[in-house]
Structure 1
């Protein structure tokens, strides 16, 4: 079966450390994470962003909506974590590359940010969810860019 990933890249006129802060600090990521709520409760990500540490997508009232674990981390360069809706009865098996991956490559004060999300092929209606996620990242990446460039 063909793997289904969202794979998008954006160039940001800011150092990788600024982009990293937008991605990982709850006060910052709440501004872009709300795009994933699809009209539902707004939420943000909380984690220590250390290897194997939990990642929680929390609503404004502190309710955990999505959870996962950090599976790869290299500050200012790479962050990968799994993503599971807490309402799912069983979690699918994941490979090392599954989840959301941020890759940051800095050159001369500019950062190329790549996001990979998937593998959606393991899900029923995976193509639908892959396409829906791609549309959300189309909104998220420009917000991350704006925030990193303004700070």
Structure 2
């Protein structure tokens, strides 16, 4: 077991309202444009499920991530558990990590803080941590482009 926590933390500032960023995060039509073609589907209430679904290159529908909403303040923050059922590890609680989006609106825009982890206790922790961090590095610039175009 490693003791170093494996938590990803990214902060992005958008020249846009809180409302616009919330839509970017929760609207399936928006997520499809930056999250590798995946639509986010949820009722956006505590305890409701959340899934990210998309299609393979062969047109087969796949659920890439699934979890449950654990905390939400509409328009301000949401936390949910997440698990990729396609990576060959057990679907058990310790293999789920928590992802939190927190929005803070200020005079010229909105700051989005993304926190994901802790991967430390999960199976394939280092690989999952590195892949997730790399994923955000690809996704964030696209998010900015979509909002600030």
Alignment-derived partner of residue 23 in structure 2: 21
Calculate the TM-score normalised by the size of structure 1: 0.83
Q: Is the 8 A contact 2:95 2:123 kept in 1?
A: no
Structure 2: gaps spanning 5 or more residues: none
Q: Matched residue of 2:111: which SS?
A: strand
* Cα deviation, residue 27, structure 1: 0.4
Alignment-derived partner of residue 119 in structure 1: 118
Matching residue within 39, 44, 47 for 1:52: 47
Q: How does 1:69-148 map to 2 (within 5 A)?
A: 69-87=68-86, 88-93=89-94, 98-148=97-147
Aligned residues: 141
Q: How does 1:6-45 map to 2 (within 5 A)?
A: 6-34=8-36, 42-45=37-40
Q: Is the 8 A contact 1:19 1:144 kept in 2?
A: no
Q: Matched residue of 1:121: which SS?
A: coil
Q: Is the 8 A contact 2:85 2:91 kept in 1?
A: no
Structure 1: gaps spanning 5 or more residues: 35-41
Distance 1:63 1:138 in 2: 23
